[in-house]
C-alpha cells in the first residue's frame, strides 16, 4: 500500500470508520451461450427468476411419490446435517458482526491479605512492615479495535458470504435429495413395468409350452419344439430374478433416502403408465441464477476474496482502545467515595516489523484459495450447462424413441400372431413362434425401459434447471399443469 492510502486509512481510523484492505469482490465473467441447442418439440420460455420453485415433484401427479418426498424432507439425516452447518455459519456470522462493537466487562474483587515485611525495599531509609488489610474493588472495562485496515469488515464479509453459501448448500442438498428420491422411485416403477411384461410373457410361454407338449404327445411335433419352448421359459424366469434384485436395491435406496431402516421399508408393486410432465426452460443465464450449487460456488468466491483482505490487514498496525473506570477501597463503607475512584484511558498499537515472510505467505495462500474457488465456480457453471443441455436434448430424443418403441411392440405382436397361425396350420416350424415370442418380449421391455429413461431424464432436467419454476396446479383440476404459470412460462418443453 502506498503512503496516501495509509494516510487515508489512518484518517478513517480516527473517525472509527476503518479502511478495508484487499480487493473488493467482483464475480468473474463466465462465457454463457445466449440460448440452448433446441430441437422439436422444445420451445423457448422466459422464466421469472423470482418465481417460487415449489415442490416440483407434484407435477408428476403421483401420490406415492409425494408421500416419499415429504418423508425424505422430514427424516433425512443428510438434510439435517446441511441444516446444522447453516446454523453454524449463521452463528459464526453473528460472532463476526459482534467485533464491530466494543467489548464491555465488569469485574469485582474482595480479599483480605497480608503484606510481607521481608519484601524487597523501595527505599533503604524506610523499612517495610507486615500489614494485614482488606481490598474491595469494582471496575468497568471496555476494549474496542479500531478497524484501521478493514480486518473486521472483511471478516464480516467473509462470514456473510459463508452463511449465504451454507444456505445455498442447504437448498442444493434439498434439491439433490428430492431428485434422488424421484429417480429411485421411477426406476423402481419402471422395473415394476418390466416385471409385469415378463409375468405376462411367462403366462403366454407356459401356454405355448403346454400346447407344444400336447402336440408332442399326439406325435404331431418332435421333442425339439418342446425343448426350445422350455428353454425360452427358463430364460424368462431367470430374467425375473435379476429384475427383482434390481427392484430390491431401488427399494433399499428409497428407505435410506427417507430415513427408514431398509429392513423396515417396503413398497408394493404398482403398474401404471408413466408420463413426464412438461418442464419449462429458459435462457442459460436464467438457469444458472436458479441453481443452488452455482449460487454456493459464487458465494464461496466472495468468502475467499474477503479472506484476502483479512490476511492483508496484518500488514497494518493493530490499534485497540482500552478505557476502564472503577472504585477501590480497603473498607466497604468508603468504596463509593470520590477518593476511591480510579480510571484509565489508553490506546495500544502493535505493528509487525519482521516476521520472516509469514504475513506475505498468508496473503499468497488466501489469493491461491480465491483462485481455487474461481476455478471451482467455472467448473460448476460448465457442469450445470452440460446437465441442462443433456436433459433438453435427451428428452426430445427419448420421446421419439418412445413412439418408435411402441410401434415396434405393435409390429412384433402382429408377427407373433402370424407365426402362431402359420405354425398351427403347418406352414412353418415352431422356431418361428419362438423367435416371435422373443421379439415381443424384447420390444415390450425396451418400451418400458425407454419410458423409464424419459422419467429419469425429466427428473434430472428439473434438477439441472434448479427446481420448479412456478406453483403447481391443484391435483384433480381439469386445467393443464401449465395454466398456473405466468404467461411467458406457458410455452413449455416436452409436449407436442
Instruction: Give the domain ranges of the chain.
Output: 3-100+147-316+357-489, 103-146+317-350
458 in Cβ contact with 452 (< 8 Å): no
45 in Cβ contact with 280 (< 8 Å): yes
Provide the grid cell at 8. 487515508
pLDDT at position 295 is: 86
CA–CA distance, 379 with 382 (Å, rounded to integer) = 5
- Name the CATH topology of 3-100+147-316+357-489: Outer membrane efflux proteins (OEP) (1.20.1600)
pLDDT at position 105 is: 93
> Which class does domain 103-146+317-350 fall in?
mainly beta
Nearest to 163 by CA among 291, 302, 20: 302
What is the value of pTM for the model shown? 0.74
Q: Are strands 103-115 and 318-329 parallel, antiparallel or unpaired?
A: unpaired
Cell numbers 420460455 label which residue?
Answer: 45
Write out the chain's pLDDT in tens, 496 residues.
Answer: 444 554 445 444 444 444 676 677 766 665 555 444 444 433 333 333 334 456 888 888 899 999 999 999 999 998 899 999 999 999 989 998 888 889 999 999 999 999 998 989 888 888 888 999 999 999 999 998 888 888 888 889 999 999 988 988 898 898 899 999 999 999 999 999 889 888 888 888 888 888 788 878 888 778 888 898 899 889 989 989 999 999 999 999 999 999 999 998 988 888 888 888 877 666 666 666 778 888 888 889 989 999 999 999 989 998 999 999 999 999 988 999 999 999 999 999 999 899 899 999 999 999 999 999 999 988 988 888 888 888 888 888 888 888 888 889 889 889 888 888 887 887 777 778 888 888 888 888 888 888 888 888 888 888 888 877 554 343 333 334 333 443 333 333 333 3
Amino acid at each position: 500500500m502506498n503512503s496516501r492510502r495509509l494516510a487515508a486509512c489512518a484518517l478513517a481510523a480516527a473517525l472509527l470508520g476503518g479502511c478495508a484492505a484487499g480487493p473488493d469482490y467482483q464475480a468473474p465473467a463466465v462465457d454463457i451461450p445466449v440460448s440452448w441447442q433446441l430441437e422439436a418439440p422444445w420451445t423457448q420460455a422466459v422464466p421469472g427468476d423470482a418465481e417460487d420453485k415449489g415442490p416440483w415433484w407434484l407435477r408428476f401427479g403421483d401420490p406415492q411419490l409425494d408421500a416419499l418426498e415429504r418423508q425424505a424432507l422430514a427424516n433425512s439425516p443428510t438434510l439435517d446435517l446441511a441444516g446444522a452447518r447453516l446454523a453454524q455459519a449463521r452463528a459464526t456470522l453473528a460472532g463476526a458482526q459482534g467485533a464491530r462493537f466494543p467489548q464491555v466487562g465488569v469485574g469485582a474483587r474482595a480479599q483480605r491479605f497480608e503484606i510481607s515485611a521481608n519484601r524487597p525495599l523501595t527505599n533503604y531509609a524506610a523499612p517495610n512492615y507486615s500489614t494485614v488489610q482488606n481490598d474491595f474493588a469494582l471496575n468497568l472495562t471496555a476494549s474496542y479495535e479500531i478497524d484501521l485496515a478493514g480486518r473486521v469488515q472483511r471478516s464480516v464479509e467473509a462470514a456473510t458470504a459463508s452463511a449465504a453459501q451454507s444456505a445455498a448448500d442447504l437448498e442444493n442438498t434439498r434439491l439433490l435429495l428430492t431428485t434422488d428420491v424421484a429417480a429411485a422411485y421411477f426406476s423402481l416403477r419402471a422395473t415394476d413395468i418390466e416385471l409385469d411384461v415378463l409375468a405376462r410373457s411367462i403366462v403366454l410361454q407356459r401356454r405355448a409350452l403346454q400346447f407344444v407338449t400336447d402336440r408332442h404327445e399326439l406325435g404331431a411335433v418332435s421333442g425339439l419344439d418342446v425343448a426350445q419352448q422350455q428353454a425360452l421359459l427358463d430364460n424368462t424366469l431367470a430374467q425375473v430374478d435379476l429384475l427383482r434384485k434390481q427392484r430390491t436395491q431401488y427399494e433399499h435406496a428409497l428407505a435410506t433416502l427417507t430415513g427408514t431402516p431398509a429392513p423396515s421399508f417396503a413398497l408394493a408393486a404398482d403398474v401404471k403408465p408413466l408420463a413426464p410432465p412438461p418442464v419449462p426452460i429458459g435462457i442459460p443465464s436464467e438457469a444458472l441464477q436458479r441453481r443452488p450449487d452455482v449460487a454456493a460456488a459464487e458465494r464461496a468466491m466472495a468468502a475467499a476474496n474477503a479472506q484476502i483482505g483479512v490476511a492483508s490487514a496484518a500488514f497494518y498496525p493493530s490499534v485497540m482502545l482500552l478505557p476502564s473506570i472503577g472504585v477501590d477501597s480497603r473498607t466497604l463503607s468508603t468504596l463509593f467515595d470520590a477518593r476511591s475512584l480510579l480510571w484509565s484511558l489508553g490506546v495500544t498499537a502493535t505493528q509487525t516489523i519482521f516476521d520472516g515472510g509469514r504475513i506475505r505467505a498468508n496473503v499468497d495462500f488466501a489469493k491461491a484459495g480465491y483462485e481455487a474457488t474461481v476455478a471451482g465456480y467455472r467448473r460448476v457453471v460448465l457442469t450445470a450447462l452440460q446437465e441442462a443441455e443433456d436433459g433438453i436434448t435427451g428428452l426430445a430424443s427419448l420421446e421419439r424413441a418412445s413412439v418408435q418403441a411402441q410401434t415396434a411392440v405393435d409390429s412384433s405382436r402382429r408377427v407373433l400372431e402370424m407365426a402362431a397361425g402359420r405354425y398351427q396350420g403347418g406352414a412353418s416350424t415352431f422356431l418361428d413362434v419362438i423367435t416371435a415370442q422373443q421379439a415381443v418380449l424384447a420390444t415390450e421391455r425396451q418400451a418400458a425401459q425407454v419410458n423409464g429413461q424419459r422419467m429419469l431424464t425429466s427428473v434430472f432436467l428439473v434438477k439441472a434447471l434448479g427446481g420448479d419454476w412456478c406453483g403447481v396446479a391443484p391435483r384433480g383440476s381439469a386445467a393443464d399443469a401449465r395454466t398456473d404459470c405466468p404467461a411467458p412460462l406457458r410455452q413449455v418443453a416436452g409436449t407436442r
